């Protein structure tokens, strides 16, 4: 009740085009929570038993914020979805496993609490952009993080990772380091090799492709990426092929005439091709 009252004091967010968006902000999803272990809930008026979108922000696991959602809450609320956006702790103050567990803990909060905001905890669509795409994909393929919370993949009806480049981390590291070596460029001081633990075992373990297998209940996927970028395109195709081989329904869509920021910002914008694919996917996996 304390969290609910705290959030209701905020009430509304006003968009650039004049629409008012109801939001309950900074709900704590962890006991003795770190300041970043909070989430926001955007619910359409009168929502009851509505499907839920669970959104993980990007920012290279080192930055980003749940408030950078552009028009997504409005888009999903108008379609009858409750929209949840979370923050997580960041590198290098915690290691990667702690970040994944933050995401799983926020998901557990949704399972326990979203009904009071009009959401259906058994119909959840998991989404994320950039580093959030890796976290979303891992949550939906490596069930160990949910099992730690007494949960399973069953409530997840679909997953939409947006322009991620780390579904297969060893491949991404090899590509980046080979490129740097061939062109005589310095390696980044805190690149993927170090972010994911500087250990090949950990690199594989944090890769969604490692955990894809038949019969696990992995949900359908829509993998969105920038068509003109070789790294995200290769990673999307690789992940899509692994899912398809395991019998998981998947569509991989490369969006043209866009970039890493715009593919995210334009989700929910009328006439956007990635949004059209998202709407089609929504209709096939979960309905209000």
Render pLDDT for 127-178 as a digit per residue (tens, 0 to 9).
999 999 999 999 999 999 999 999 999 999 999 999 999 999 999 999 999 9
Give which of 87, 53, 47, 62 is closest to 222, Cα–Cα.
53
Give which of 174, 185, 152 is closest to 235, Cα–Cα.
174
Percent of the chain topping pLDDT 90 = 90
Distances (CA, A) of 23 to 20, 69, 114, 219, 287: 10, 12, 13, 28, 22
Chain position carrying tokens 């380091």: 177
Helix or strand (DSSP H, E) at 134: helix 131-139
Q: How many CB atoms lie within 10 A of CB 172?
A: 25
Beginning with the edge strand found earlier in the chain, give each strand of the sheet holding 119-129 in spatial order.
11-14, 20-28, 38-42, 82-86, 50-56, 119-129, 156-162, 221-226, 250-255
SS (H, E, C) 239-265: HHHHHHHCCCCEEEEEECCCCHHHHHH
Residues 50-79 have a mean pLDDT of 98
Least confident of 12-16, 212-216, 269-273: 12-16
Chain position carrying tokens 């059209």: 276
Give which of 82, 80, 60 is closest to 163, Cα–Cα.
60
The full set of domains in the chain, from first to last, is 2-168+207-285 (3.40.50.1820), 171-206 (no CATH)
Identify the pLDDT of residue 20.
Answer: 59
Report whether 221 contacts 161 (CB < 8 A): yes
pLDDT over 80 (residue 35):
yes
CA distance 85 to 110: 11
**Mean pLDDT estimate for the chain:** 93
Render pLDDT for 199-241 as a digit per residue (tens, 0 to 9).
999 999 999 999 999 999 999 999 999 999 999 999 999 999 9
Report whether 76 contacts 268 (CB < 8 A): yes
């Amino acid at each position: 009740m304390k969290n609910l009252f705290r959030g209701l004091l905020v009430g509304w967010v006003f968009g650039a085009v004049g629409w008012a968006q109801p939001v309950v902000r900074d709900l704590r999803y962890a006991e003795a929570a770190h300041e970043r272990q909070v989430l926001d809930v955007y619910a359409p008026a009168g929502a009851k038993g509505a499907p839920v979108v669970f959104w993980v922000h990007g920012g290279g696991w080192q930055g980003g914020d749940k408030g950078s959602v552009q028009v997504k809450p409005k888009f999903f609320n108008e379609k009858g979805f409750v929209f949840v956006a979370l923050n997580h702790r960041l590198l290098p103050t915690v290691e990667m496993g702690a970040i994944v567990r933050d995401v799983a803990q926020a998901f557990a909060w949704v399972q326990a609490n979203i009904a009071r905001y009009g959401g259906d905890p058994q119909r959840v669509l998991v989404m994320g952009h950039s580093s959030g795409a890796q976290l979303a994909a891992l949550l939906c393929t490596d069930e160990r993080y949910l099992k730690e919370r007494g949960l399973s993949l069953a409530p997840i009806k679909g997953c939409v990772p947006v322009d991620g480049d780390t579904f297969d981390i060893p491949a991404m590291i090899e590509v980046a380091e080979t490129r740097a070596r061939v062109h005589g460029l310095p390696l980044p001081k805190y690149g993927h090799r170090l972010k994911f633990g500087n250990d090949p075992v950990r690199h594989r373990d944090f890769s969604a492709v490692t955990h894809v297998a038949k019969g696990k209940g992995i949900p359908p996927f829509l993998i969105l990426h920038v068509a003109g970028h070789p790294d995200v395109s290769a990673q999307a195709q690789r992940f899509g092929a692994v899912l398809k081989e395991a019998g998981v329904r998947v569509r991989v869509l490369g969006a043209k005439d866009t970039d890493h920021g715009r593919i995210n910002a334009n989700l929910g914008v009328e006439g956007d091709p990635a949004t059209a694919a998202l709407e089609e996917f929504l209709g096939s996996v979960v309905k209000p």
